[in-house]
């Protein structure tokens, strides 16, 4: 099923009300403050110079010299890669973000979900989300580099890696294709900006498929400023890390057991996930549950004092 968080319209339709807190995604609810934009961001097609400047800013932020391309979110890469690389036999380390398998199947791939890194070996295409969504499972860069020669193409989705930069492969991706999100950590998902880095030929193929203007002028200008703001990034990592512990404590008081997560979302084992979601929804707090588990519920982190208070009251 291609079900997702962020479906706040369904919550409003089912429960009513307008003042919802959407914790159903892993998007930072304290977003980067939008800078002033030039008129040209809206009136001109993005230039090659502007696009190159965005990639340079991304390379500096992510600590890489690898070839890269900016796209309309990591999702754009997920949808382009099946056509670029296949079809063939794909294996996805799961359970995980369901768009990887869904996009591959839509592109004619035979897809198998496996439970271990070892199970990926021998596939024409292997996908690992690191850190994983929704359980936060992580894999050391060395283990992923060791896997890469054993598959036709390894794709590692690092959409939630910004709070743990030491986990990233981007210092030396080699032949691995690495996907990065911008909207989640910087809290600007509506901007639709993401990146792919990796082997030059693969990146050139993605760039060709994406066309001459894959991201907007506004996304380029905002991305360049935000990616270069190292002070905001460090402060946000510190805040998110502390608040992940805070939400874990609230969940524990409610009798929920931590499954795992990242500094952007937490997943819990509950006696009844649907009942837990309903309980929160009656306080106009939306959460994420999963078709493959009747017990798991995932929460993003609230975005300020009032949101934290509402969550605490809903969980009492």
The span from the CA of 143 to the CA of 133, in Å, is: 19
What pLDDT does 6 receive? 94
In order of their start, the domains of the chain are: 8-30+231-315 (3.90.1150.10), 39-228 (3.40.640.10)
Mean pLDDT, the chain, integer: 97
Query: What is the number of alpha carbons within 13 Å of residue 315 lying toward its C-beta?
Result: 21
Q: Which residues contact 291 (CB under 8 A, 6 or more apart)?
A: 1, 3
Q: What is the pLDDT of residues 77-94, one digit of tens each?
A: 999 999 999 999 999 999
The pLDDT tens digits of the residues spanning 161-186 come to: 999 999 999 999 999 999 999 999 99
Q: Is the pTM for the entire model greater than 0.75?
A: yes
Q: At what angle do helices 99-106 and 74-85 cross, to 10 degrees?
A: 40
Return the pLDDT at 118: 98
């Amino acid at each position: 099923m291609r079900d997702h968080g962020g479906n706040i319209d369904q919550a409003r339709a089912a429960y009513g009300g307008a003042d919802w807190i959407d914790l159903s995604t892993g998007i930072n609810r304290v977003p980067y403050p939008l800078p002033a934009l030039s008129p040209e961001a809206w009136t001109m097609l993005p230039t090659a110079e502007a696009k190159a400047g965005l990639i340079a800013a991304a390379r500096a932020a992510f600590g890489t010299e690898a070839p890269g391309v900016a796209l309309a979110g990591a999702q754009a890469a997920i949808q382009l890669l099946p056509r670029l690389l296949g079809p063939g036999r794909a294996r996805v380390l799961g359970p995980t973000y369901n768009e990887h398998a869904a996009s591959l199947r839509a592109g004619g791939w035979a897809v198998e979900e496996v439970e271990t890194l070892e199970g990926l070996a021998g596939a024409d295409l292997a996908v690992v989300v690191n850190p994983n969504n929704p359980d936060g499972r992580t894999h050391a860069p060395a283990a992923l580099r060791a896997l890469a020669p054993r598959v036709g193409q390894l794709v590692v989705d690092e959409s939630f890696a910004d709070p743990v930069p030491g986990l990233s492969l981007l210092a030396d991706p080699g032949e691995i294709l690495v996907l990065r999100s911008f909207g989640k950590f910087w809290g600007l998902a509506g901007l639709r900006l993401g990146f792919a880095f990796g082997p030059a030929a693969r990146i050139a193929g993605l760039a060709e498929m994406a066309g001459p203007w894959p991201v907007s002028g506004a996304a380029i200008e905002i991305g360049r400023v935000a990616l270069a703001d190292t002070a905001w990034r460090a402060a946000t990592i510190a805040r998110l890390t502390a608040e992940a512990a805070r939400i874990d404590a609230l969940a524990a008081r409610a009798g929920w057991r931590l499954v795992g997560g990242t500094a952007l979302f937490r997943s819990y084992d509950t006696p009844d996930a649907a009942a837990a979601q309903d309980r929160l929804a009656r306080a106009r707090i939306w959460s994420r549950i999963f078709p493959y588990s009747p017990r798991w519920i995932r929460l993003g982190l609230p975005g300020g004092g009032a949101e934290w208070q509402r969550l605490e009251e809903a969980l009492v």
